[in-house]
Amino acid sequence: MTTDDPGPERGRSFGAVAAAYDAGRPTFPVEALAWVLGEASVHGRRQVLDLGAGTGKLAAVAAALGHDVVAVDPSEEMLAVCRKVPGVDTMVGAAESIPLAHGSVDAVIVGQAFHWFDHARALPEIARVLRPHGVLGLLWNHYDTVVPWVRRLHRAILGEDFLAGADQFDPMPILLQSDLFGPVETGRFRHWHDLDRGGLRQLALSHSRVSVLTESRRESVLEQIDAIYEGTARPPEPLRMPYFTNCYRTWPSDLANYQRTLDAPVAPPL
């Protein structure tokens, strides 16, 4: 799945396609989030912040694991969809100015959004709201373009000139250069998302590159999407879109923990 072009304006553009995003985009594998959270996923209820939460795809998985979840996103349109997710509280806010107290959460999780952040400002904020021994987890769903029809879909959405693999953002250099976080661990998980014809169209429309096209060019892309569906799907069976999820997890450094105690006391559990 593409990360699109990073930048705050393109990030906010997702608000205009919130319904398409919710209908067309996949969830995240439970196994992936359990791995990201580690001990926090199995030892009782934890406070989890889903940052850049969008329509709540990742927040819903965290809530289903039994955690207390707050979803933060700058888009009111996205959060309007997210509020329908059971067990999730929502707040309008940004990664660069998180509307939570110092040391108030056990985990910060980011699904499909870290590349949008101003990292120089966001990483200190994430370190600030994490408790000692808290975890930062980053997740991205990507199309499995080894499958020929998925590769054709990918090209139709992103354009003929798009280079394969160029959409897979690598957060490792940013995390390793920060003195606020320690070693980074990585994981990868496979999963599938079932779609009908309308769902495949919604998936295409959820990409900012498609949503900002002129009406005639957008319809041209959707005609290509329909042709791929016709040549691949076997109704009434759903079309199974294969994905892999890249995951990264890291923990606040001693410096981050020390700076947090200087700034303010750690907040008590919610």
Read off the pLDDT band of 162 (50, 70, 90): low
Q: Give long-range contacts, CB 8 A cutoff, 24+ apart: 228-236.
A: 228/149, 228/152, 228/153, 228/156, 228/200, 229/197, 229/200, 231/149, 232/149, 233/196, 233/197, 235/196
Q: What is the mean pLDDT of residues 137-150?
A: 95
What was the pLDDT predicted at 264? 61
Q: What is the mean pLDDT of residues 4-24?
A: 64
What was the pLDDT predicted at 73? 97
What was the pLDDT predicted at 43? 62
Rounded to an integer, what distance in angstroms lies between the CA atom of residue 9 and that of residue 15? 11
Q: What is the mean pLDDT of residues 226-244?
A: 96
Token code pair at residue 158: 């992103």
Q: Are strands 239-250 and 130-143 parallel, antiparallel or unpaired?
A: antiparallel
Read off the pLDDT band of 164 (50, 70, 90): low
The answer to whether 232 and 249 have CB atoms below 8 angstroms apart is: no
Top pLDDT among 53 and 256 is at 53
* Contacts of 166 by beta carbon, 8 Å cutoff, 6+ apart: none
What sections of 75-118 are H helices per DSSP? 76-82
Give percent of the chain above pLDDT 70.
Answer: 87
Rounded to an integer, what distance in angstroms lies between the CA atom of residue 66 and that of residue 173? 32
Rounded to an integer, what distance in angstroms lies between the CA atom of residue 5 and that of residue 42? 36
DSSP letter (8 states) at residue 268 = P
- pTM of this structure: 0.89
Residue 245: beta bridge partners?
141, 189
Q: Could you report how far apart the first and last alpha carbons of the chain are, in Å?
A: 35
Closest CA to 75 of 122, 16, 116: 16
Kindly tell me if the per-residue pLDDT of 218 is higher than 50. yes
Give percent of the chain above pLDDT 90.
Answer: 76
Top pLDDT among 95 and 209 is at 95
Kindly tell me if the per-residue pLDDT of 167 is higher than 70. no
Rounded to an integer, what distance in angstroms lies between the CA atom of residue 7 and that of residue 116? 6
Provide the residue count of the chain: 270
What was the pLDDT predicted at 9? 46
Q: pLDDT digit string (tens) for 41-60?
A: 666 789 999 999 999 999 99
What was the pLDDT predicted at 16? 61
